[in-house]
Amino acid sequence: MFVQIDNLSKQFDTQNGNITVLKNININIAEGEFVCVVGASGSGKSTLLRQIAGLDTPSSGEIRIGGVPVKGPSPDRGMVFQNYTLYPWMNVQENTEFGLKLQGVAKRERRERASYYLDVVGLSDFARSLPNQLSGGMKQRVAIARALVCEPKILLMDEPFGALDIHTKESMHEFIIDLWQRTKITILSITHDVEEAVFLSNRIFVLSSRPGTVKKELTINLAERGADAKRHAIFQDYRDELMGLLRQYGAEGLVAAKI
């Protein structure tokens, strides 16, 4: 498998003692797959993504991508954060180029590659705009372009559309599916939005809370992912099934929290 997460556990030392946030996580992802992890808020989704990104080290277990163990952050694993982490003093073009600049790519090549991906995300006309002149959806598209320019092996997204309004969110869903089909990149996205998970994923991992463990793996087979897909019966079946699972394991977490 392209991404192998073996028996990953993560504990934090806090004032209230040692807490286990992730326990025995096993996830495999094939190259080119679109996978979502869903779970209640506080179930450890971001913590899981941070381990994969290399921003934090697991307490035990191992993560391999393309057979190589993850040791520290790298442009091989692009990441999109929930709250638009663009550099506010750089314009869209400069933001998109920045990864290449850090890696010492020559100015000319930087410019060309960034322009290509700005075109991919449909923001060529805004190359000179500053982030605070853009809408939320546009900011996330810049963040996606900025990650893609580095040509990562996998794109990690932590609730990338969580802060967007419903209409922008839906158009971003279609945008990201289209982008994924064109670029064939492997994507691991995190969400607590059930419809989003069903619409985007090949497979969904359902995470329980306290500690976060993989409770269920769902394979999604949608014939098409156009704008109408959400109205089809099969979509709604998947949605209801996932909703039921989340209710079940989310509630478990709540009970556990009270004890």
Partner 1 sequence: MPQKPKSNLQDSSTQPNRSSLRPSVFWQLAEDIPPRLNWVLSGISLGLPLILWWGITTFGSIDPKFLPSPSAVIIAAQRLWGAGELQQDTIASLWRVGVSFLLSAALAIPVGILMGSFASIRALLEPLFGLMRYMPAPAFIPLLILYQGIDEAPKLSLIFIGTFFFNALMVMDTVKFVSKDLIEATYILGGNRLQTLAMVIFPHVIPGILDTCRINLASAWQLVIVAELIAATEGLGRRISVAGRFLRTDEIFVGLIVIGAIGLILDLLFQYVIRVCFKWSNNN
Ligand X SMILES: Nc1ncnc2c1ncn2[C@@H]1O[C@H](COP(=O)(O)OP(=O)(O)O)[C@@H](O)[C@H]1O
Residues that bind ligand X (CB under 6 A): 12, 14, 21, 39, 41-47
DSSP assignment, residue 132? Answer: G
Asked whether the beta carbons of 211 and 20 are under 8 A apart, the reply is yes
The span of 32-40, 47-55, 196-204, 215-223 binding partner 1 (CB under 8 A) equals 47-55
The residue (of 42 and 75) whose beta carbon lies closer to partner 1 is 75
Among 32, 42, 61, 75, binds partner 1 (CB under 8 A): 75
Among 31, 60, 68, 87, binds partner 1 (CB under 8 A): 87
Among 66, 89, 122, 135, binds partner 1 (CB under 8 A): 89
The residue (of 46 and 201) whose beta carbon lies closer to ligand X is 46
The residue (of 41 and 132) whose beta carbon lies closer to ligand X is 41
Q: Cα 40 from chain centroid?
A: 15
Instruction: Pick left, alpha or beta for residue 142 (phi over 0 → left; psi -120 to 50 → alpha; otherwise beta).
Output: alpha
d(CA 48, CA 93): 31
At closest approach, how far in Å is the CB of 89 from ligand X? 28
The residue (of 53 and 63) whose beta carbon lies closer to partner 1 is 53
Return the structure tokens found at 70. 């993850």
d(CA 87, CA 53): 20
Backbone angles phi, psi at 228, to 5 degrees: -85, -15
d(CA 157, CA 64): 18
Q: Indicate the SS3 state at residue 163.
A: coil
d(CA 171, CA 177): 10
137 lines the binding site for partner 1 (CB under 8 A) = no
The residue (of 83 and 103) whose beta carbon lies closer to Mg ion is 83
Compute how many residues bind partner 1; rule: CB under 8 A.
27
Residues that bind partner 1 (CB under 8 A): 53-55, 72-75, 77-79, 81, 83, 85, 87-89, 98-99, 101-103, 130-132, 146-147, 150
